[in-house]
Amino acid sequence: MKIRKFQGKTFKEVLEMVKNELGPEAVILSSNTKRDPITNFSSIEVTAALDESKETAFNQISLEDNHKPLHLEIEKIKMEMALLRDSIAKILPVMNDNSKSSLYRLMIQSGIEHNLAVLLLERVSHIDELREILSREIKVTEGEIQNHKGFIFFGLPGVGKTTSLYKLGKLIKSRNEKLMLLSFDQRISSVAQIKEMSIKLRCEAKIVKDPKDLYKIVHKEIGRNKILIDTPGDGKITYASLLRDLIKDIPLRKCLVLDTSMATSASVNTLMNLDPKAYDCIAFSKIDIAHNYGNIYNLHFYSGKPITFLTLGGYNDEKAIIYPPYNAANLIIGGFCEN
C-alpha cells in the first residue's frame, strides 16, 4: 500500500496531484490546513493511499495469498494509529479550554471531520459564534432556486437526482411557470418514469439520445420554459465531463447531487474523480435519513462549490420538501430546517 503526502494552495490543486501520482483509485486518509507562522499563508496537506493488490509482503515476511486481506487490514490499522497520534497532538492544546472541548465534541458528533473542527475552534468560543461563522462561510447560490433558468443534475447512482428533479419541478409548477423535462437516460424504466413525471407536472418531456442535440433544444426552449435535465448515474459521473464544454455557454446550473447519508470519504472520492469545471454547485439529498449533517460542511469545504438546495423525501412522498441552502448552518448545528 502506497501512502503519500501532498501539499498545495487549494484542495482542488492537491486532489489533482493525488490523481496524477496515485491515480483515481487513491483514497484520502486525512486533510489538514497548515498556516506559516511567518508569512501567515495557509496551505492544504492531504495524506492519500493506494492499495497495491500485487503487494504480498509485510515487514519482510512472505504471506500466502489467502492472508492478503489480513495483511491489508493490519496496514490500515497502522495508518489509522499514526493519523490518530497526529490528531491528538493537534487537539490537546485546544482541549485545555472546557468551552472549546464541548464545542469540539459537538462538531464531531454532528459529523464534521476532526481537522475541520480544529480549524473552526481556532476562531470560535461558543455555539452562537460557531453558527454565525458557518452561516457566513457556507457559500450558497444567489436568489431563490425556482428563479434560475434551469438545472442539469449529475451524481452517482441512487443519490436522488431524478427525485430532486421532480421535487424542483413541482416547486416551479406551483408558481404557474412553464416547464420542460429532458433526460439522457434511455433505459426503459427511466423513460417510463420521466414520462410519468411529465404527466403529473403537466409539462413536456423529451429523451435526448445525442448530447449534441441538447444545445439546440435548450437554446430553442430556454426563453419560454424552465428546463430540468436528468443524466444517468455511473461511478465516474461520465456525463458531467462529456457535457462540460457543450453546455458551458448555456444559462443552466450544473448541479452535483450528493447523498447526505453517505460517508464523507466516499463522496470525496467522487469529487476526486470529477473535473471541478464540469459542475458549478452542489445539492444535498436524503437529509431525512442521515444520522448527522456535518457531511454538508465537509463536502462544501472540499468541493469549494456553493450549495443550491437541501432536500428530503422520496418520489411519491407527499411530504417531500426542497429547502433553501441558507438552512445548512442550522441543520449542521441544530438539526432543523426553516422553510
Instruction: Report residue 50's pLDDT band, with 50, 70 and 90 as the boundaries.
Output: confident
What's the CATH fold of domain 145-334?
Rossmann fold (3.40.50)
| pLDDT reported for residue 161 | 94
Q: Kindly give, in sequence order, each residue whose CB lies less than 8 Å from that of residue 324, ignoring residues fewer than 6 positions away.
A: 140, 144, 145, 309, 310
Cβ-based neighbour number of residue 3 at 10 Å: 16
Bridge partner residues of 33 (DSSP): 44
Cβ-based neighbour number of residue 266 at 10 Å: 12
Q: What are phi and psi of 286, to 5 degrees?
A: 60, 40
Residues 307-319 pLDDT 10s? 999 999 888 887 7
Distance in angstroms (rounded) separating the CA atoms of residues 274 and 270? 6
The sign of the dihedral angle between the CA atoms of 47, 13, 27, 44 is positive
Question: Between residues 137 and 70, which one has the greater pLDDT?
Answer: 137
Q: Is the separation of the CB atoms in 179 and 203 below 8 Å?
A: yes
| pLDDT reported for residue 285 | 95
State the cell numbers at 151. 438545472
Give, in order, the Cα–Cα distances in Å from 179 to each of 30, 141, 206, 269, 312: 43, 21, 12, 34, 22
Report the Cα–Cα distance between both ends of the chain, in Å, rounded: 48
- With a cut of 60, say whether residue 69 has pLDDT above it: no
Which of 8-17, 134-143, 172-181 shows the lowest per-residue confidence on average (mean pLDDT)? Answer: 8-17
Give, in order, the Cα–Cα distances in Å from 141 to each of 66, 123, 309, 324: 51, 25, 9, 9
- With a cut of 80, say whether residue 158 has pLDDT above it: yes
| pLDDT reported for residue 85 | 53
What is the value of pTM for the model shown?
A: 0.73
Q: What is the mean pLDDT of residues 228-253?
A: 89
- With a cut of 90, say whether residue 169 has pLDDT above it: yes
- With a cut of 50, say whether residue 210 has pLDDT above it: yes
Bridge partner residues of 57 (DSSP): 62
Most confident of 36-50, 114-128, 164-178: 164-178
Residues 257-302 pLDDT 10s? 999 999 888 888 888 889 999 999 999 999 999 989 999 999 999 9
The sign of the dihedral angle between the CA atoms of 104, 109, 110, 114 is positive
β-strands 226-230, 150-154: how paired?
Answer: parallel
Instruction: Report residue 82's pLDDT band, with 50, 70 and 90 as the boundaries.
Output: low
- With a cut of 80, say whether residue 41 has pLDDT above it: no
Distance in angstroms (rounded) separating the CA atoms of residues 236 and 271? 10
E runs forming strands in the chain: 2-8, 27-35, 42-50, 57-58, 61-62, 150-154, 179-183, 204-207, 226-230, 253-259, 281-285, 307-312, 321-323
Q: What is the mean pLDDT of residues 138-149?
A: 86
